[in-house]
A = this chain, B = another copy of it.
Amino acid sequence: MELYRILDRIDAEQTNALNRLLEFLRIRSISTDPTHASDCQMAAEWLAEDLRSIGFKADVRPTSGHPMVVAHGPSNGKRYLFYGHYDVQPVDPIELWERDPFDPIVENQGREAVIRGRGASDDKGQLMTFVEACRAWKDETGELPMNISMLFEGEEESGSPSLVPFLKRNAEELSADLALICDTGLFDNRTPAIITMLRGLLGEEITVTGPDKDLHSGQFGGIAANPLRILSRVLADLHDDSGRVAIPGFYDGVEDVPDDIVLQWNSLGFSATDFLGKVGLSVPAGESNHTPLEMIWSRPTCEVNGIVGGYTGPGFKTVIPSRASAKVSFRLVGSQDPYKLRRSFRDFVRWRIPADCSVEFTEHGAGSASMFSTDHPLFGRARKAITPEWPNRAVYTGEGGSIPIAGHFSNILGMDSFLLGFGKVDDQIHSPNEKYDVDSFQRGARSWARIINELQSAHTPPGTDDEAGDSPA
């Protein structure tokens, strides 16, 4: 039985695979910071080179931003496009990291071995689970698995400005029967999650300008418009007292979750107290008439992600600053239209700016939400395929984080996405001391090997969804 030889090979290769990942993690590919452009290029080249070493035909393709990596295996039968991203989040506040974020190591955290470093989980470690599965397949069988292509972008953490043009320009080359995406998390440490609902994302930056220079609050306080006060009012007005977003039309296109999904969610035993307790909180802060799982999976949100203005150094300065700015993001669900929302949001803000002040907007990406039908036969087959790898059977869930790529795949390439990832809730992605469990990395690669094996057996009829078989092919 070939699958078991491949799984054994993944286990035997673990040390080498971890060393490859550490090498990848050392590349400082922070896409949002222009000073790291050459690091992004380097990460793309590292990845293409690694894929070529396995036997993929892999290129680094320039864009007007950071490059794409495209790789193709041998062609035959149904086609699958694996997607990941090689760019990472910024590292500030850097002083909270216990070590250099780009000097990764494998270390113990409690009883778990973890890979520590920026990108370990999001998304370098995750994307390498798929690459390692392909490598083991090739090493063991002498051939790559059939008809697998890969697309890796370098702007996922900075709004993906080059993605849509690239997909449109290369639609024929990239279209497939199904996309495979590894940029999500487990439901819990024992239970994988297949994501069938993804929130969209709209990112906006607003800068309010009042006086044309910084003023002394003694000379001008009380009479001059203060951009910090105006901005605070705008941001406070975004939510009403019940936690609902107050922008007119915001909830257009938001629908209630279907009853059968609500039933499945209610049976998951999710505890908001436990979930929030891990980050030092206890009270769900969202819309008061929705359950905690709805808040993170199926309800749209508006969050302020950054504010700055005035004097923020040590001590005190009685200044009325000329400008103040904030970054605001929206998670979208159902058929909420990000472009329509952008217009409503900007009107909402403009309406609150005094006549002698002004506001400027900067866009930081817009993607709508996605939903996939679990009726697709591959969903059931893949769900079954990974069952032996984990203590609990995989569940269908929503996902609060936005993976706009799934929407673009659907809209531009006409294909559904199968989202499976192995991140844990304490991975601290986007935060200091990001990590990825070695267990996630290892079981992740083994899970992909099982799924590839299932997809290759295209002529085998799919197992029924109720069968808890342990030998997938």
Contacts and interface: CB of A to CB of B under 8 A. Distances in A.
Interface in A263-312: 272, 275-276, 279-287, 292, 295-296, 299, 301, 303-312
Contacts of A218: 199, 201, 331, 399-402
A191 interface: no
B229 A303 contact: yes
Contacts of A213: 96, 279-280, 428, 431-432
Given A90-B317, A313-B90, A430-B317, A305 B217 contact: yes
A216 B319 contact: no
Q: Which of A32, A285, A296 has the most CB of B within 10 A?
A: A285
Contact of A236 (B235, B286, B331): B235
A319 B430 contact: yes
Interface string A174-200: 000000000001000000000000010
Nearest to A365: B316
A61 B276 CA distance: 53
Contact of A228 (B212, B226, B235): B235
Interface stretch (A74-82, A203-211, A250-258): A203-211
Interface string A314-340: 111111110011110101000000000
A233 to B, nearest CB: 4
Nearest to A324: B307
A1 interface: no
A32 B319 contact: no
A285 B354 contact: yes
A16 to B, nearest CB: 30
Contact of A425 (B219, B299, B311, B356): B219
A220 B308 contact: no
A219 B400 contact: yes
B306 A224 contact: no
Contacts of A402: 218, 318
Interface string A422-445: 000100111110000000000000
A158 interface: yes
A275 to B, nearest CB: 7
B225 A283 contact: yes
A222 interface: yes
A249 interface: no
A403 B325 CA distance: 31
A399 B354 CA distance: 26
Contact of A305 (B185, B205, B224, B320): B320
Contacts of A214: 93, 96, 430-432
Nearest to A279: B211
Contacts of A239: 229
B281 A313 contact: no
Contacts of A205: 316
A92 interface: yes
Contacts of A299: 222
A305 B329 contact: no
A364 interface: yes
Interface of A: 31-34, 89-90, 92-93, 96, 157-159, 185, 199, 201, 203, 205, 210-226, 228-229, 231-233, 235-239, 272, 275-276, 279-287, 292, 295-296, 299, 301, 303-321, 324-327, 329, 331, 354-357, 364-365, 399-402, 425, 428-432
11 contacts: A199-B218, A213-B428, A222-B331, A223-B275, A228-B306, A228-B326, A283-B354, A316-B327, A316-B329, A318-B402, A319-B430
Report, nearest first, the 10 A-B pairs whose CB atoms are least far apart: A218-B401, A32-B315, A212-B280, A306-B310, A236-B236, A232-B235, A222-B301, A316-B364, A228-B304, A308-B312
